[in-house]
């Protein structure tokens, strides 16, 4: 008895597009080392200065280090080829990693706020010079990290998340400097826990954005930068197409947008030309993984076809 028929490599090749994250792995590694190193400095300085602001910012940097570490792991996993069991490879790991990182930031922010509330009741003694000095060093380190991440933050959800986290760290460092200056010149130690709450808010904002974008991808929502109406119009106005239905556009992972749909073509002789034209128009919109089913007759049943049906020439008809 023969075993299962193996899947040809060509059958999977067009289904797999390595995310742009891999190209930024070297940068992510350098930023990770910089972030982790300075996080240790902030923990030691925060304990010496008895400063919650420094410890809060170190906690934020811990979240950044975890996000960067996951990003590097995902970059290596995403480089693995697709298999018959995982026809898209491990592309979605980037999205899952971003979701986990975003959720973890809420927990970290909650811990900072809890400790800040406790310190507001009994403000401790804080060494402002250490607080200010470490904040200044953190500002410099974060500026360097932002510079390194800037080129890739528009192309990868994880890189963008890291970029936003580092930007939050930069503001946290500014907050530590402000708290140190206020305590040094006025002796008002409440500045330390109050600014810590502000840093926690920054953490929540960063985490909320990561979670929202990750959930949108996992729900296979239409990407924000693409109009489904424009996609529909581009397909419907291809010569030979008389109807469009069952149209979907979604994000597989950062930089990989997919589209599937059905187009009614009354003359099968023009199918290849229609398919090539659709692929070209979708590529111009940034959609490069296109799956189109070409039909002679509309296969969308009456229960499914309640939406708009495009007809050549731009008019629409409702299917009843």
Measured distance CA(194)–CA(176) in Å, rounded: 11
pLDDT band at 242 (very low <50, low <70, confident <90, very high): very high
Interatomic CA distance for residues 51 and 115, integer angstroms: 11
pLDDT tens, position by position, 6-60: 655 555 555 545 555 555 677 778 888 888 888 888 888 888 888 776 777 677 6
On whether the CB atoms of residues 209 and 67 are closer than 8 A, the answer is: no
d(CA 161, CA 110): 19
| Interval 115-134: pLDDT, tens | 788 878 777 777 788 878 88
Q: Which residues contact 14 (CB under 8 A, 6 or more apart)?
A: 289
pLDDT tens digit string along 83-96? Answer: 777 777 777 887 88
Residue 203 within a domain: yes
Kindly report the CATH number assigned to the domain that includes residue 156: 1.20.1510.10
Same domain as 169, residue 187: yes
pLDDT for 66:
76
Report the C-alpha gap between 68 and 76 in whole angstroms.
Answer: 13
Residues 243 and 271 in one domain: yes
pLDDT-derived band at 154 (thresholds 50, 70, 90) equals: low
Give the pLDDT confidence score for residue 301 in this predicted structure.
Answer: 61
Which of 218, 240, 258 is a domain's end point?
218
For residues 35 and 150, state if they share a domain.
yes
Answer yes or no: do 205 and 128 share one domain: yes
Q: Could you tell me if residue 69 is inside a domain?
A: yes
Q: Are residues 37 and 161 in the same domain?
A: yes
Same domain, 211 and 297: no
What does the pLDDT look like over 192-210, one tens digit per residue? 788 888 878 877 887 888 8
Residues 185, 177: Cα–Cα separation, whole Å: 12
**Domain range for residue 297?**
228-318
Number of independent structural domains in the chain = 2
- Whether 239 and 211 share a structural domain: no
Residues 138 and 234 both lie in one domain? no
3-state secondary structure of 15: coil
Lowest-confidence region among 54-68, 174-188, 242-256: 54-68
Rounded to two decimals, the pTM is: 0.71
pLDDT digits (tens, 9 = 90+) for 206-228: 788 888 988 998 999 999 889 99
**pLDDT surpassing 80 at residue 141:** yes
User: Are 111 and 211 in a shared domain?
Assistant: yes
Domain boundary among 162, 196, 218: 218
What CATH number is attached to the domain comprising 248? 3.30.70.1350
């Amino acid at each position: 008895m023969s075993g299962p028929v193996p899947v040809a490599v060509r059958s999977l090749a067009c289904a797999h597009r390595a995310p742009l994250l891999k190209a930024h792995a070297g940068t992510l590694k350098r930023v990770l080392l910089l972030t982790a190193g300075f996080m240790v400095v902030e923990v030691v300085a925060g304990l010496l200065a008895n400063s919650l602001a420094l410890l809060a910012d170190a906690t934020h940097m811990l979240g950044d280090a975890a996000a960067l570490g996951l990003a590097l792991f995902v970059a290596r996993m995403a480089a693995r080829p697709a298999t018959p069991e995982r026809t898209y490879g491990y592309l979605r790991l980037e999205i899952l990693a971003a979701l986990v990182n975003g959720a973890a930031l809420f927990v970290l922010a909650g811990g900072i706020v809890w400790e800040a509330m406790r310190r507001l009741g009994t403000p401790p003694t804080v060494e402002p010079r250490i607080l200010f000095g470490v904040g200044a060093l953190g500002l410099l380190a974060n500026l360097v990290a932002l510079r390194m991440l800037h080129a890739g933050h528009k192309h990868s959800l994880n890189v963008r998340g890291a970029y936003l986290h580092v930007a939050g760290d930069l503001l946290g460092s500014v907050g530590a400097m402000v708290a140190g200056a206020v305590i040094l010149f006025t002796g008002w130690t409440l500045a330390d826990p109050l600014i810590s709450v502000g840093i926690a808010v920054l953490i929540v904002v960063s985490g909320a954005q990561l979670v929202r974008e990750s959930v949108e991808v996992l729900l296979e929502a239409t990407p924000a930068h693409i109009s489904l109406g424009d996609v529909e119009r581009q397909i419907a106005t291809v010569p030979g197409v008389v109807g469009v239905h069952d149209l979907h556009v979604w994000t597989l992972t950062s930089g990989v947008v997919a589209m599937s749909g059905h187009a009614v073509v009354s003359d099968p002789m023009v199918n290849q030309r229609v398919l090539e034209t659709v692929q070209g128009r979708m590529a111009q919109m940034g959609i490069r993984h296109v799956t189109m089913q070409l039909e002679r007759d509309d296969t969308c049943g009456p229960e499914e076809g309640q939406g708009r049906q495009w007809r050549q020439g731009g008019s629409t008809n409702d299917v009843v």
